[in-house]
A and B are shown apart, each in its own frame.
Chain A
Amino acid sequence: MRSNQDTFKLTAYLAIFAGIGIWLFFDGFKKWRRKRLIENIPTSKIRSMAMGLVELYGQATPWQFILKGPLTGRDCVFYKYMVERYERRGKSSSWVKVATGGSYDNLFHIDDGTGIVLINPRRAELNLDKPDFSFESGLFGGDIPSNLVSFLDQNDIKYQTWFGKHRMRFREWDICPNDQVYILGTVKKNGNFVSDFKMKLNDRLREIKAKPEEMKKIDSDGDGTVSVYEWEQAVAKLKEEMMEAQLRQPEQPQETSFVIDKGQEETIFIVSEKSEKDLLQHLNWQSLAEIIGGALLASGCIFGFIKMLTTLF
């Protein structure tokens, strides 16, 4: 005979696992749809890519400058890192994230031999293989090297205890120059001329309003106040001047005039170090396992739940 507490516990477990099963089942389908989408899109050449969703494959190259991996100091075009500390909480111990980050705001290029295009990794789903650097200090690992100690110090991460040092785990993923990268994302114009222009104009108008000497120049009849007509005249003149200045600027080179980003309609944006074939294989197995496993787990849990109810009542 089970106690009420046991029954409650069992019900809770069944509900949780049924939920996990249902989530896995749906997530499996999501992955399968993604696999189909990747299969359905042919690879474009950068030279001739059209606006909208594209699939590209090329070598990573730096845009403005080469980055340095924060843990390794390695040359790269993109990095992300994670530092974890082994902490004891009551009876159990676990790894706790103490620092994470990445060069998400640094754009980089990919070059497929026909052209170069910018990649904005900010909203990308990154698929970066295994970590390029992994180090664990403590029990079986060695002592923390000096470069990692200085990283911890710079970031105010506590690693020393009263009796010695915490166990620490460091991981860094890099996309290095010349690494082959697979991209599935949306081609966009780099910067919107109209919105950029409006933003610059508004900034300049705010500047004028804040400076009395500039407002005085606008006051053409010198009556001490700027009329609506005088203000409109000033805005029109400013627009003209800014437009002329814009036209005098050299045209943006092709390699920076387009950027691959997350689209508004097509929200898929993958940056992967895996080849398309590997990515598809991975998605195939994952989706199959999740669909079948999820369905069985959810069915089993719901079945158990119904069975339990029938024995109770």
Chain B
Amino acid sequence: MGIFVLLVLLFLLFGLISYAFTIYNGLIRVSRNIEKAWANIDVILKQRHDEIPKLIKICEQFSQYERGTLERVIELRTAAMNATGVADKAVKEGNLTKALGGIWAVGEAYPDLKSNNNIHQLQTRISGLESELADRRELYNDSVNIYNIRINQVPDMIIANMLSYREKEMFRISEDEKKDVDISLNLPK
């Protein structure tokens, strides 16, 4: 009977080692998933930043746009490009989204602007990028959520502590961004 118990213990030991390895590999994967999701957000942000100068160039041809509105967008784009960290980036990108919303709002109010083909194409492109950005932000947050749950769960917690894994922050939308764009603010006087 002693041999049987010994054999079971051997299997148990092997099982425990495999279990620990699987947990370790799983934690590495969830951690890398976050990095990948973040890098994929950056790809879309870069594409959006690249479209803004084109938008400004077209808008400058129309007198309806106040110089200040366009300068604000340029300023916010630069700030967003220089942002570091998730929270900082979330705030600055949110401000840029809001400012872009202001440009679209002006376009909606003026038929000659609205009918401009280039503006229309850029709006479609930037709106598409923003939808993709929203999806990727959601995926990033899902990845962070999975990671945060894993590192707080037993037994993953033990290995996560050994790896000094700490909770990561989500890409949260600012309260300002959740509000509707105030069209009247951007209309020329």
Name A's B-contacting residues (CB within 8 A): 25, 29, 32-33, 36-37, 39-45, 47-48, 50, 52, 114, 291, 295-296, 298-300, 302-303, 306-307
Contacts and interface: CB of A to CB of B under 8 A. Distances in A.
Contacts of B8: 295-296, 299
State the main secondary structure of chain A at its contact with B: helix
Contacts of B139: 42, 44-45, 48
Nearest to B32: A40
B108 interface: no
Interface in B120-140: 131-133, 135-136, 138-139
A300 B135 contact: no
Contacts of B150: 40
Nearest to B156: A36
Contacts of A114: 131, 135
Nearest to B149: A39
A40 B147 CA distance: 8
Interface stretch (B11-19, B57-65, B83-91, B158-166): B11-19
B110 to A, nearest CB: 30
B7 A40 contact: no
B33 A40 contact: yes
B56 interface: no
B6 to A, nearest CB: 9
9 residue pairs, one from A and one from B, having the closest CB atoms: A42-B142, A48-B135, A295-B11, A299-B7, A48-B132, A303-B4, A45-B135, A50-B40, A299-B8
B142 A25 contact: no
Given A42-B146, A47-B131, A48-B44, 6 more contacts: A33-B25, A40-B30, A42-B139, A44-B139, A48-B133, A295-B12
| Residue picked from A295, A298, A300, most chain B C-beta under 10 Å | A295
Interface residues on B, range: 20 to 34
15 contacts: A29-B18, A33-B25, A36-B22, A36-B26, A40-B29, A40-B30, A40-B150, A42-B37, A45-B139, A48-B135, A48-B136, A50-B43, A114-B131, A114-B135, A298-B7
Contact of A299 (B4, B18, B26, B36): B4
Contacts of A307: 3
Contacts of A29: 15, 18, 22
Nearest to B133: A48
Contacts of B29: 37, 40
A43 to B, nearest CB: 7
A40 B18 contact: no
B26 A295 contact: no
Contacts of B25: 33
Contacts of A299: 4, 7-8, 10-11
B143 interface: yes
B11 A306 contact: no
Contacts of B4: 299-300, 303
Nearest to B144: A42
A295 B37 CA distance: 39
B127 to A, nearest CB: 12
A40 B11 contact: no
Contacts of A37: 26, 29
A156 B55 CA distance: 67
Contacts of A306: 3
B164 to A, nearest CB: 20
A306 B37 CA distance: 53
A295 B11 CA distance: 6
A306 B136 CA distance: 58
Contacts of A48: 44, 131-133, 135-136, 139
A48 B40 CA distance: 9
B22 A32 contact: yes
Contacts of A296: 8
B146 to A, nearest CB: 6
A40 B26 contact: yes
A48 B132 CA distance: 5
B143 A25 contact: no
